[in-house]
Structure 1
Amino acid sequence: MRQHSVPAQQGQRPNPRVRFDCAYTYRAPNGHELFQHVRWRTDDERGKSFSYRWRPHPSAPWIKEKPKTDTAGFEADHYLWQLRAVRRAVRAGEPVWWPEGERDALELGRAGVVATSHHGGACKVSPEQCAWLRGAAGVVLLADRDAAGAACALRRYEGLLEHAGLRPWQVRVLRAATGKDAADHLAAGYGLADFVPVSLTTLRRKAAEYTPETAAAAGYMYVGLTVIVGGRRITL
């Protein structure tokens, strides 16, 4: 699988506590560059943060914001990582693996499967992203081993059934045998066959533990929470 990461370069450091790690390039099905999801190493307990950047054409300066229709002419939230490989796999009848995060997808690709990811973190999954898997022979979802990971996997599962028209038997949910996620699992020496199946009942029970309180304790923003900002109702 082609690697779409950019090594640390150009001394990109917004402040002394944040260091550039890599950038994951998202492309349209025809290969056209859309935007980059940038990973930063941080000195806090999470150890990482993310930002977005895009440019009107390859030689233009980066615009350091998340692409939106009114600024870039498209919505970043409509696209999956490695989309060209995903579409080829769908046409060829090959399964697509979908973990939570590009790092996990990259490691799964190195292990020999076609893998994709959404961006933005747990539960940041859109109907448009799910719809790219329409016609897939099968999709393997990887659930991180925490409540947010279970909620995210459940959202992807339900999205694939609703927006990609897949049947329940076409979607499998797995988790790592050790560690939190697919990258930890593979780094520990386990293989693709060693991922542990997760039943829908277990997934729903674990996902129910994802609350604003547990999300905050784990350092996540709770997705789905409605707040009032300046008199306006906003759903995170």
Structure 2
Amino acid sequence: MAGRNVRQYLYTNLAGKPCVRKIRKEPKAFFMQSWVPGEHAFWAKGIRPEQEHFADRAMYHLPELMWALKAGEPVWWCEGEKDADAIRGVGGFATSHWQGAGAATRDQAKWFLRGNGRSLIRLVVDVDQSGCGANCVIVRKRLLLSAGVARSRIRIVAPPLPHKDAAAAIEAGLPLSRFRRPDEARLTAAANGYTAERKTRREFSDWMGRAS
């Protein structure tokens, strides 16, 4: 794959041992690698059989996420690792899934059943014109509910405009307290209306104007 590697995001198991990692390249592109254990351990391209059993459950900063849930601390589930790292950098407990927008799994959502059941789960929405971010956050909420997480624990939050994601807002110096709950009815409508064609045309989704 052409391009220059600019960042890597490591996903570990509960014991902190490496399982998979996502590599970001510039121009923007991503690819996955699997950790192949053994005497001559190495990183291999793609999701290998050695990691298939865990890949669909893998969550970013998993051991830290489990600690926060056990302690009853609020946790943030972001669309991407960059946002999770930004929130973590200002003192929050944050995670992400590696599969990309709208592609989280029920097995990943099941992790949030761990702990004492008191942690508030903040689902961070990316503010974009196509409704892709809206679709992703609604998918995550539905996965949590289907996994058995209480609705009262779930909050969808958006970064204050004009910032499109958590990383941009934090880089601008805004605290996490500035994140607000969007109009969820409009957000859900934008999610239901999202299509790949709409993303290509970059149609405006008017929930954005009410996100803050």
Which bracket does the TM-score occupy, shorter chain normalised? 0.7 to 0.9
Query: Do the aligned residues in 1 keep the contact of 2:36 with 2:50 (CA within 8 Å)?
Result: no
Aligned to 2:23: 38
Alignment of 1:1-236 (within 5 A): 14-15=1-2, 18-42=3-27, 48-57=28-37, 59-67=40-48, 70-135=49-114, 136=117, 137-146=119-128, 147-163=131-147, 165-177=148-160, 178-217=162-201
Question: Deviation of residue 212 (structure 1)?
Answer: 2.4
Question: Deviation of residue 60 (structure 1)?
Answer: 2.2
Count of aligned pairs between the two proteins:
195
Query: Do the aligned residues in 2 keep the contact of 1:173 with 1:199 (CA within 8 Å)?
Result: no
SS of match in other structure, 2:126: coil
Seq. identity, % = 30
Query: Do the aligned residues in 2 keep the contact of 1:122 with 1:148 (CA within 8 Å)?
Result: yes
Compared CA separation, residues 204 and 94, structure 1 to 2 (3 A): same
Question: Deviation of residue 217 (structure 1)?
Answer: 3.8
SS of match in other structure, 2:66: helix
Aligned to 2:207: none
Aligned to 1:224: none
Compared CA separation, residues 21 and 208, structure 1 to 2 (3 A): same
1:53 alignment partner AA: Q
Unaligned runs of 5+ in 1: 1-13, 43-47, 219-236
Query: Do the aligned residues in 1 keep the contact of 2:19 with 2:51 (CA within 8 Å)?
Result: no
Compared CA separation, residues 72 and 120, structure 1 to 2 (3 A): closer
Compared CA separation, residues 73 and 152, structure 1 to 2 (3 A): closer
Question: Deviation of residue 73 (structure 1)?
Answer: 4.8
TM-score, normalised with respect to structure 1:
0.78
SS of match in other structure, 1:132: helix
Unaligned runs of 5+ in 2: 203-212
Q: Distance in 1 between matches of 2:32 and 2:54?
A: 12
Query: Do the aligned residues in 2 keep the contact of 1:25 with 1:35 (CA within 8 Å)?
Result: yes
Work out which structure has the larger RCO, using CA pairs closer than 8 Å and 6 or more positions apart in sequence. 2
Question: Deviation of residue 97 (structure 1)?
Answer: 0.4
Q: Which has the higher helix share?
A: 2
Deviates further, 119-128 or 72-81: 72-81
Deviates further, 54-63 or 185-194: 54-63
Question: Deviation of residue 36 (structure 1)?
Answer: 0.6
Superposed CA RMSD in Å reads: 1.7
